[in-house]
Structure 1
Amino acid sequence: MTSSKGQLYLIPTRLGDNPPLEVLPISIKKVIEDIDYYIVENEKTARRFIKRISPSKSQPSLKLSVLNKYTTEEERNTFLNPCLEGHTIGLLSEAGCPAIADPGSDIVSLAHSMDIKVTPLVGPSSIILALMASGMNGQSFCFNGYLPIDKAERKAKLKSLERLSSEHNQSQIFIETPYRNTKMLEDLSSVLHPETRVCVACDITLPSEFIKTKPAKEWKNNKEDLHKRPAIFIIQKS
């Protein structure tokens, strides 16, 4: 890597609408104040976040490239060109850590192929925070993303994950679209073995945070309203 190249900073964001510096280190504020080039998922929310972190930063000076499902490979391959010209770029996720369950991983891979230095910054990851608070195996775990929507496929997937968790003593982590949380919990309590442990962690780092681990059978009488609340689910069968 030549010294004239800029580097790519992976900048975590909040998991909800709480004051940024309640959950983010001051080092992120310092980095943001020095960067004008960003790769983001949504320009409006990215600008709002940057303004919350650094109110004095000039918004017109920001140069944002949008990375989402509509971004073409040709467009994506140009996003790091400013680094080749000596500029530092910040990669922002919509929530949590860039490149973790996030399209930013493609940009990080591209940076390595271009011999651009990648620097990850400290910040909240809902996946890791949920695992930390679950009481389940933090030595061996797997993040599975979203499970199938089809009822039969979802049931088969849950049984498969339960079997894997038992065979490998491994925590199995997954997420759901927030408006399907209640249905997911109903499926977990009816499909899994009654003693399989289930952790539900939602609104992590927010005042409304709810994190609870208990056997699947005890979730049948759940009183917590999970509807439309960002949640992480973890299961483990002994």
Structure 2
Amino acid sequence: MNESYIGILYIVPTPIGNLSDITSRALIILKNVNIIVAENIYHTNILLQHFNIKNSLILMNKDNEKKQSDHLIDKLKEGQTIALVSNAGTPVINDPGNLLIKKCHFFNIQVIPLPGPCAAITALSASGLMKNRFCYEGFLPSKKKNRCDLLYSLREETRTMIFYESKYRILESIQDIIEQIDENRHIVIAREITKKWESIYGDKATSLLQWLKEEKYRYKGEIVIIIDGFKQIKNKNIDQKILHTFLILKKFCSFKTSVLITSQIHKVNKNNLYQYLIKNKSDKIN
């Protein structure tokens, strides 16, 4: 295979709401490549028509990704150039295309990514939460058990956590966060980022859930959930009065119940208190 004739795959981010966010470079590439590979042809056509771009479109979704990837690799080997786009934002983040990119690397076909919009990063930048250490977890599972299992596994994740969620499940998911992570954990809801009805609101989990329930419009549209990371409690922050209360309660209640009541009496985070007591074996403290 003569590499001088091999084409290029461009990864082209598109606006997540406001069409003005597209870059000049992205428009040039979309206009001049041989093929645009789209997750949804109808959706992509709206963007192309807005900028008066006429080009050949090929559909690639999760159902035909394997077959289309082989077909597109053949086109690239012939020297054609291809732009990969998703419905919105940076392609391949929760969208089809990764298999095609892997095959490009296998066949030494050049892959050129363009910078551009991403709802998770855009929301994080405005969240007010820690940004130098974060993890992206994608969409929360739709089934409650799977969702709760995932959230429980992240209860001591110290990095800021980013999720996508549907308006249909947002109330259930916040309730699960309260139950599986912490009712006092700070959460930010970023809705309809870059669009007309954009809103960003943060509060502790229980207060945020109540705020959402007050008005249905507050959880309409596309939603990003950002959860503050777990803060480990330091020994010096545990007052002896708190330990004394816990030890008294533990004589009459279970460990878990004693932690819960102690946290409510002294208004401290129950998860942090639980962690501290487990690590320091405070049931032996005099």
Structures share fold, TM-score greater than 0.5: yes
- 1:121 deviates by 1.2
Query: Structure 1 stretch 196-205 or stretch 207-216: which is displaced more?
Result: 207-216
Q: Using the TM superposition, give the Cα deviation of residue 230 of structure 1 relative to its aligned residue in structure 2, in angstroms.
A: 0.5
Structure 1 residue 72 displacement after superposition:
5.4
Counterpart residue number, 1:159: 152
Aligned partners of 1:158 and 1:231: how far apart in 2?
17
Q: Counterparts of 1:1-238 in structure 2 under 5 Å?
A: 2-16=3-17, 18=18, 20=19, 22-53=20-51, 55=52, 57-58=53-54, 62-71=55-64, 73-163=66-156, 165=157, 169-222=158-211, 223=214, 225-236=217-228, 237-238=230-231
Paired residues of 1:99 and 1:108 also in contact (CA < 8 A): no
CA-based RMSD: 2.1
Q: Any unmatched runs of 5+ in structure 1?
A: none
Letter in 2 for 1:7: I
- Alpha-carbon distance between aligned partners in 2 of 1:152 and 1:28, rounded to the nearest angstrom: 41
Indicate the larger mover: 90-99 or 225-234: 225-234
Per-residue deviation, 1:146:
2.5
Whichever residue aligns with residue 174 of structure 1, its letter is F
The SS at the match of 1:119 is strand
**Which piece of structure 1 moves more, 148-157 or 36-45?**
148-157
TM score, norm. by length of structure 1: 0.85
Contact 1:40 1:65 in 2 (8 A): yes
Structure 1 residues 94 and 208 mapped into 2: Cα distance closer, same or farther (>3 Å)? same
Aligned AA for 1:128? Answer: I
Q: Partners in 2 of 1:162 and 1:154 — Cα distance?
A: 13
User: For the residues of structure 2 that align with 1:233 and 1:86, how far apart are their CA atoms?
Assistant: 42
- The whole-number CA distance in structure 2 between the counterparts of 1:152 and 1:33 is 46
Q: Distance in 2 between matches of 1:26 and 1:114?
A: 29
Scaled by the length of structure 2, the TM-score of the pair is 0.72
Partners of 2:42 and 2:220 in 1: CA distance: 22
SS at match of 1:9: strand
SS at match of 2:37: strand
| Deviation at residue 125 of structure 1 after TM alignment | 0.2
Aligned to 2:117, the other structure's residue is in SS state coil
Q: Partner of 1:201: helix, strand, or coil?
A: strand
CA–CA distance in structure 1, aligned partners of residues 100 and 118 of structure 2: 19
Structure with higher helix content: 2
